[in-house]
Each structure stands twice: as C-alpha cells, then as structure tokens.
C-alpha cells in the first residue's frame, strides 16, 4: 500500500510541475511582487519601526496576499488537471481497476499536488523576502539595492535560460526543468543577500533576517495547504471552473469567517475593562472561600453595577474563553461571614464599589480558571453560545488564523506556540477535507 501511495504521489508531483500553467503562475507571482515594490510608496515613511516600517508594511501586506492568491489559483488549476481531468479522460479507470483502492488514489493525488504547491509557494515566498530586503523607494534619495537585483535576477533568469537550453537540445520539459532549478537557485540567492549589505560589504546574517516575517509566511503556507486539500476534494466531483470558484469562495469566506459566524457564535455585553489589579499578596488564591480582590476599571461601567451582582471576566471581548464558570447569583448578606462561607450556590460577586474600584469576593469557593488581569473584559452575565453557529464556525476553515501580517506590522511577537496551534488546526482541516474527497470519490463513475 505504501509503495502504491508513493508511486501515485510521485507521478502526480511530476505531472503537476510539468503543466505550463504551473510555471506561468509562478512567473506571474514574481512579476506581481516587483509591481508591489513599486506600488507601495504611500506612507512617506512616517510610522514606527518593527521588522518592517513605513511603506514596507504595505509591501508586506500586498506581497503575502499575492503569495496566497497565486497559491490558491495554483492549487485549483493543478488539482483539477490531475484529478478531474483524469476522471473525464477515463485514465483514472486504468489506475482504480488495478489493485489500487480509491482512498489510496485520492490520498496519493493530494500528496503529489501538495508537494508541487509547496515548491511553487516556496519560490513565491522567497521572492517576497527579496522585495522586503530591497525595501520600497519612498523618496528620490533612496537607491536601488543592486545586491537584490543581481542575485534575485539570476535566481529567475538563469533557470529560464537553462530550461530553454535543455528543452531545445535534450527535449526536457521546460516548466519542470526551470522550476526544479529555480527552487534551489532562489534559496541560494536569498541566503547570499543576507550576508551582503547594500554597499556590497559583508554583514551578519541577522542584519536582514526577519524571523517574524518568516513565521507569518509559514502560517500563510499552512493556509495554502488547507486550500490544496479543498481543491483536491472538490475536483473529485467537479470540473476546473467550479473548483476555482469554490476555492476562491472558500478563501474569501474564510477571511470573513469571524465577521459572518464568529461574532454570532458567542454573545455577551462588555461592562468595562480592567485597568489595574490589586493582589493582596504574592501567590494569593482567589478561588479560596471569602477571598477578596480589588480591580480598577478603565472607565465608567456601561451598565449599573451593584453589590451582590455576579461578575465574569476574560481576555476576549466576545466572552469566548471566559475565566469564570457560569453560576447562580449570590443570595444572602455579603456582610455576614456565615452567608459568604456557606452560600446556597458558590458565586463571584461584587462586594463593594468605590468610584472605579470594584472589590470582588468569592463566596463559597467558586473554582476560577485564573485571577483577573489587566486588560481583561468585565461582564455581568455568562456568555451565551449559539451551538449551530459555533459548530459551523469551527468546521469552516477560518483563514484569519493564518493571516499574521497585522502582528508583524504592529510589532507584536508571534509565539511559536501559536504557530504550532495553527499547524495543528491546518492538519485537522486537511485530514477532514481529504476524507471528504475520499468519500466523494467512492461512488464516482470513472468508467
């Protein structure tokens, strides 16, 4: 089974790279990155510095969007060429009529297409890194980075020349030859530029290496892996046009998932935010019975807050992942020790309010996920969950999780833990989509 899977994957990979549209879209993506470099000069340099600053922030936004759009189109074109076209031409019948299971056929096709897409996206990401290194020329005094022009140009022109030469004299397929040469050439060319500054002097590799941009690009690549799985699954039943339409629609709707679904999945009303907290002593356990904690609100509450009311807090304004479990309101006298120690129902209640200072008391030892923190949102009611919407929000790929350009441009570090969670999220969606493709292909007539 493994041998058959590898054989199908290898043949699909080679077939994908040999398609003329494959190399054409790669070149179109590279040309688009060059145009992005010339079209990003708008901010005149008046922004704070992060890994990118001024007009380079817009350049990063446009550049990564270009990579994702071209990658999506590649996935749709390649998937339909190696799956739906084989079904329409009856060549898939030759494979499945042999001792090759239909699940192996679909999984092998997916792995082959995924490998080809990863080759193309790697080249496109490196072209983005080249233009980021060059930087936008916002003023007349800015000079062309000849190091990027030389090594970036060689990484593109040299594979094309060699591909033409080998096609003419040896009959090699131009698109696959040029692609196989361009991948290592672009990597080597970019690494060389990291060691040479604009003045042609040697520099440490850390001078122009952008780890946060690399992590943001990695998450973008993960989103394209999900789109590749979707394209393969759809192409088992539909043709090229509908596959492209569905992939484009899924990409757009995935970017709008939080607006269309996420904001309706959880609902709660924010009362205020926590400006500061006053911990009685280090290691204080707020889950203990009768423990008190004083928080300072950032402004006047939007709703009336009174002693005895229940309080909830969390880091998400929608009330998602709230740190206080749902509980019944406190019944009794907060000034009586017996009522607070042995209430009918444990609860987190307001003991007193002094202007913006709110003292909270844990009556009965309600188990809290954590203590309140600065920046938390304050609520007076538990969060309502619309389960059908929440399930739809979780099942449909949310591409906002993969789009981390804002974190880079605003100077927020991207934790490796988050990248790992995004990788797990993409793996789950790829597994589900490939399984859907297998299910759709099981009853497909290929004869």
What does each of the 447 residues of the chain score in pLDDT, given as a tens digit? Answer: 788 888 888 988 998 999 889 999 999 999 999 998 888 776 555 455 677 777 788 888 899 999 999 999 999 888 888 877 777 766 666 666 667 778 888 899 999 999 999 999 999 999 999 999 988 877 767 788 899 999 999 999 999 999 999 999 999 999 999 999 999 999 999 999 999 988 899 999 888 888 999 999 999 999 999 999 999 999 888 888 888 899 999 999 998 888 888 888 888 889 999 998 887 767 677 777 778 888 999 989 988 888 889 999 998 888 888 889 998 888 888 888 888 888 888 899 898 898 889 998 888 888 888 888 899 999 999 988 888 988 888 888 899 999 998 888 888 889 999 999 999 999 999 999 999 998 988 877 766
Residues 221 and 289 placed together within one structural domain of the fold:
no
Q: Give the domain-ending residue among 332, 354, 382.
A: 382
Regarding whether 65 and 13 lie in a shared domain, the answer is yes
Output the CA angle 220-222-223, nearest 5 degrees: 65
Same domain, 175 and 259: yes
Return the closest-CA partner of residue 247 out of 64, 39, 76: 76
In this structure, is residue 400 part of a structural domain? yes
10 Å CB burial of residue 204 (0-12, 13-18, 19+) is exposed
Q: Which residues of 359-384 are buried (b: 16+ CB within 10 A; e: fewer)?
A: bbbbbbebebeebbeeebbbbbbebe
Residues 401 and 369 in one domain: no
Strand partners, 293: 360
Whether 260 and 277 map to the same domain: the answer is no
Q: What is the CA radius of gyration of the chain?
A: 28
Q: How many domains does the chain have?
A: 2
Q: Does residue 196 form part of some domain?
A: yes
Range of the domain at 421: 2-264+394-442
In a domain, 388, yes or no: no
Q: Which pLDDT score, from 0 to 100, does residue 292 have?
A: 85
Task: Based on the fold, state whether residues 315 and 429 are members of the same structural domain.
Answer: no
Question: Do 43 and 81 sit in the same domain of this protein?
Answer: yes
Q: Do residues 256 and 184 share a domain? A: yes
In a domain? residue 157? yes
């Amino acid at each position: 089974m493994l041998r058959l899977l590898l054989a199908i994957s290898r043949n699909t990979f080679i077939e994908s790279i040999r398609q003329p549209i494959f190399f054409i879209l790669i070149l179109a993506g590279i040309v688009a990155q060059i145009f992005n470099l010339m079209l990003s000069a708008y901010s005149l340099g008046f922004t704070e510095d992060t890994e990118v600053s001024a007009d380079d922030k817009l350049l990063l936004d446009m550049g990564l969007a270009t990579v994702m759009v071209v990658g999506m189109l590649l996935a749709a074109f390649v998937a339909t060429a190696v799956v739906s076209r084989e079904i329409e031409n009856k060549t898939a019948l030759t494979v499945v009529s042999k001792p090759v299971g239909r699940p192996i056929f679909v999984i092998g096709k997916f792995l082959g297409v995924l490998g080809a897409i990863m080759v193309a996206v790697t080249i496109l990401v490196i072209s983005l890194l080249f233009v980021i290194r060059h930087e936008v020329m916002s003023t007349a005094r800015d000079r062309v980075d000849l190091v990027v022009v030389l090594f970036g140009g060689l990484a593109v022109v040299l594979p094309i020349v060699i591909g033409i030469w080998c096609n003419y004299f040896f009959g090699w397929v131009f698109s696959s030859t040029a692609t196989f040469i361009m991948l290592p050439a672009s990597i080597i060319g970019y690494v060389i530029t990291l060691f040479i500054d604009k003045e042609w002097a040697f520099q440490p590799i850390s001078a122009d290496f952008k780890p946060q941009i690399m992590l943001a690009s990695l998450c973008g690549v993960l989103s394209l892996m999900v789109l590749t799985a979707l394209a393969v699954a759809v192409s088992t039943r539909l043709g090229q046009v509908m596959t492209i339409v569905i992939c484009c629609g899924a990409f757009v709707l995935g970017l709008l998932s939080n607006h269309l679904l996420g904001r309706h999945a959880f609902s709660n009303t924010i009362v205020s935010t926590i400006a500061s907290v006053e911990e009685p002593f280090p290691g204080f356990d707020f889950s203990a019975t009768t423990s008190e904690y004083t928080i300072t609100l950032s402004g006047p509450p939007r709703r009336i807050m009174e002693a005895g009311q229940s309080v909830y807090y969390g880091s998400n304004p929608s009330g998602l992942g709230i740190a206080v479990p749902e509980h019944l309101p406190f019944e009794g006298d907060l000034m009586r020790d017996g009522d607070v120690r042995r209430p009918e129902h444990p609860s987190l209640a307001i003991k007193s309010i002094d202007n913006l200072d709110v003292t909270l008391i844990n009556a009965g030892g309600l188990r809290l996920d954590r203590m309140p923190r600065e920046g938390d949102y304050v609520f007076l009611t538990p969060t309502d969950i619309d389960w059908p919407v929440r399930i739809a929000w979780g099942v449909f790929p949310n591409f906002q999780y993969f789009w981390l350009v804002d974190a880079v441009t605003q100077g927020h570090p991207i934790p490796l833990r988050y990248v790992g969670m995004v990788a797990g999220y993409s793996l789950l969606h790829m597994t589900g989509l490939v399984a859907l493709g297998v299910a759709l292909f099981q009853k497909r007539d290929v004869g």
